Amino acid sequence: METKEMLARIRQLTKPGAAADPALLTDLRQVTDIPALLEAGRLLAKVPSELLGRLKPLRVAITGTFTASGVAPLLRVALLGKGIAPEIHVSGFDQLAVDLSSPSSPLAAFEPQVTLCLLHDDWFVPSEWDDLDEFGNAVRGRWSMFDNLVGAFTERSGSAVLVHTVPLSPVEMRGVVAFDGRAALGRAWRDLNSDLLGMALRRDQVHALDLEAYLVDAPARLRDERLYRFASAAWTPEVESVYALEAANFCRAFLGMAKKVLALDLDNTLWGGVVGDDGPSGIQIGSMYPGNAFREMQRRAVQLRKQGVILALCSKNEATIVDEVLNDHPDLVIRPADIAARAVNWQPKDHNIRGLAQQLNLGLDSFVFADDSTFETQLVRGSIPEVTVVHLNGDPADHVTALQRTGSFDVLTTTATDRERTQLYKARAERTEFADSFSSVQDYLRSLEIQVSVREADEFSLPRLIQLGQRTNQFNMIGTSHAEARTREMAASDDHLVLVFEVADRFGAEGIVGGVWVSKHDDHWLVENFVMSCRVFTRGVEHTVVQHLADRAISSGASRLEAGFKATERNKAAAAFYPDAGFEPVSEGRYTLPLLPRPQISPDWTNLVVEMESADV
Amino acid sequence: MSEVFVEVVDLVGQVTDLPAEDISADARFDTLGNWTSYDALRLLTGIEQKFAVRLDLQEYFSIKDVGGLVAAVSTAQEKSG
């Protein structure tokens, strides 16, 4: 049980002389179960923050009109997860008026930097009312008192104050039987919420959180009537959790810790499909699903750019084809002018993100990286823990929500310079050379337990191989594909070998990702073509497959392995492979590799499985 | 030991900071360390979320020991199932 282990780990940290556990906060992000988070937050209050990493301190006071015992622990967990070590003061039940008005209240003595005011409907609703004018006047009177209290408090204390919109209990709403009456009640209530939001616009140190709007998106009941009547708890734990997360985002914005850069993958993130294989006209982007989901993602990315977020690309692709799409594709929303820096190449993505940080001269902790691939997101998470990683692993229509929900870019206000920031950073990026330090991705690859399974193509795998041959343009050694009839002929012939291979790692299996077409000659074997999906490129899979071919050729008595190659506009990614694996060019379009002594091509982090091998004659 | 018992003990352990081994069926709540009505509510919230049940508040507060709570959860589960 992971939650139990996590709580045990935190409990360990509460003991005197405990050793630091800097990975705890990252691991704690996996916990979403609210009772567990409540306990975690309660325990973390006893943990010295230096055991958790380098965190920024913040003094937060919580006061309110009702009992919200879950907000403090949930807020603590959320803040720690954002790199903030809070000192939290919680006022007693219904102390709001005293806290805000008395210069000698315990809250004032605490000297908070941020004061959260938690409000509930019955604090505004008169205990008895008969007509809606009476209701509206009473609510307005209450609000006006609150507004004055907050104004005086901010002037006196210098603390920032976060107010929020207040949802009205359905009990109040259904208490009115006339639809007209409910409409009038709803309007009077929205006037109150509008006034609450207006406080943020009128007063410098006051900010507002539109709780009513956030709750629209949460599977939460407003309150549990039993606990409301028994303990004046006006929010369920789910509502407390929504509030705590958004209040934590506010605190991060308050401390100026908002993320500055959004580094985006391209294939299956900004458009559907793989542009290197499908071609610029074959990618999914446009007005129909799923193209419209990717377009929405682009639209939201550009919206961020207009508010001061710097957009960067981090994609394994050919730069030229990406240029072509960004410049010329009619359905794209994002254009080269929106992008401040690019890392479009075949280098490991953690290396590329470090490079982007250097180019832009910004810290890695100001980066958010969004990618659909488990491989890439886990690599970056493990290699650069400072980067906020968003794994876009669901339906493309849900990608925008996944990106926005982190609240990473939330700031208190935006200014005119925010809109020009891209220009500024673009110039900076162009001046700075990309650093060529090589990062070690090998430890990560070792941890993946990559398994490459090779087998001879059969009736079941041939259709997939033929499709792969036609679709693969990037890792395709001759740029074209053997025709279906020829492939079947070769697969059936003893003088030829057609292999398919699958890749699996600890995140899951990829299925058939490539194949080779080989003709066997007495003294050498010729690899006529080798294709592989670029999803698995740069993990040593291709090396493992060629190692297998070499070993098999050796045992049948061949003395060298030859390979055909034809450069095309698209297969630059594949061009470096044969030389990298130790092959020498012998003539135009032909490489050779001596098999004596046995060449070592395969990396030490892959595991080869050979299925259903027939004898080579 | 029933599954419900094991999970209830886990939650009681979480709320009271006591090791699960030290919590038996006849352990009385009012003798557990630092037991307050606030802890009782935290336990209630945890139990209701974990087992997807709703307990009668008055009955809940009349429960004296862990065994009684396990029985109440089992009854509530049967009703909702």
- Supply the pLDDT for residue B81: 64
Choose, out of A5, A39, A238, the residue to mutate when testing the contact with B (most B CBs < 10 Å). Answer: A39
CA distance B12 to chain A (A): 11
Q: pLDDT at position A538, please?
A: 82
Q: So what's the pLDDT on residue B18?
A: 83
**How much of chain A exceeds pLDDT 70, in percent?**
97
Give me the pLDDT at residue A534, please.
Answer: 82
pLDDT in tens, A376-406: 999 999 899 899 999 999 999 999 999 999 9
Q: Binning pLDDT at 50, 70 and 90, where does residue A437 land?
A: very low
pLDDT digits (tens, 9 = 90+) for A477-492: 998 999 999 999 999 9
> How far apart are alpha carbons A140 and A143 in whole angstroms?
5
pLDDT of residue A438: 42
Strands A56-64 vs A310-316: parallel, antiparallel or unpaired = unpaired
**CA-to-CA distance for A429 and A368, rounded, in angstroms?**
18
How far apart are alpha carbons A469 and A65 in whole angstroms? 67
What pLDDT band is residue A300 in, cutting at 50, 70 and 90?
Answer: very high
Q: Quick one: average pLDDT of A53-77?
A: 95
Residues of chain A with a CB closer than 8 angstroms to some CB in chain B: 4, 7, 11, 33-36, 38-39, 43, 69, 226-227, 230-231, 233, 237
Percentage above 90 pLDDT, chain B: 51
Instruction: Identify which of B14, B37, B45 has the shortest CB distance to residue A237.
Output: B45
Output the six-digit token pair for A479: 């740029």
Between B41, B46, B50, which is nearest A227 by CB?
Answer: B41
CB contacts of A34 in chain B (<8 Å) are 49
Min Cα–Cα distance to chain B from A226, Å: 7
Summarised one tens digit per residue, pLDDT across range A38-63 is 999 999 999 999 999 999 999 999 99
d(Cα A544, Cα A601) in Å, to the nearest integer? 7
A306-365 pLDDT, tens digit per residue, is: 999 999 999 999 999 999 999 999 999 999 999 999 999 999 999 999 999 999 889 999
As for the ipTM of the complex, it is 0.86
User: Is B45 close to A35, i.e. CB distance below 8 A?
Assistant: yes
> Could you count the other beta carbons within 10 Å of the beta carbon of residue A382?
15
- pLDDT at position B19 is 83
Provide, as residue numbers in chain A, all residues whose Cβ is less than 8 Å from the Cβ of B41: 69, 227, 230-231, 233
Task: Report the distance separating Cα A524 and Cα A519, nearest Å.
Answer: 9
By percentage, how much of chain A surpasses pLDDT 90? Answer: 79
Per-residue pLDDT band at A436 (split at 50, 70, 90): very low
pLDDT at A445: 86
Average pLDDT, chain A: 92
**pLDDT average, residue stretch B36-64:** 90
User: Region A514-535: what's the mean pLDDT?
Assistant: 94
Mean pLDDT of A252-263: 95
What pairing do the DSSP bridges indicate for beta strands A606-611 and A160-164? unpaired
Residues contacting A58, CB < 8 A, separation 6+: A79, A84, A85, A86, A87, A113, A114, A251, A254, A255
**Predicted model pTM:** 0.83
| Residue A434 reports pLDDT greater than 70 | no
Query: pLDDT value at position A435?
Result: 43
Is the model's pLDDT at A155 over the cut of 80? yes
Distance from CA of A361 to the nearest CA of B (A): 46
Query: Is A399 or B45 the better-scoring residue by pLDDT?
Result: A399
Residue A432 has pLDDT above 70, yes or no: no
* B66 has pLDDT over 60: yes
Residue A597: asked if its preceding bond is cis (omega within 30°), the reply is: yes
Whether residue B10 and residue A4 make contact (CB cut-off 8 A), yes or no, is: yes
What local confidence, expressed as pLDDT, does residue A420 receive? 77
pLDDT at B28: 92
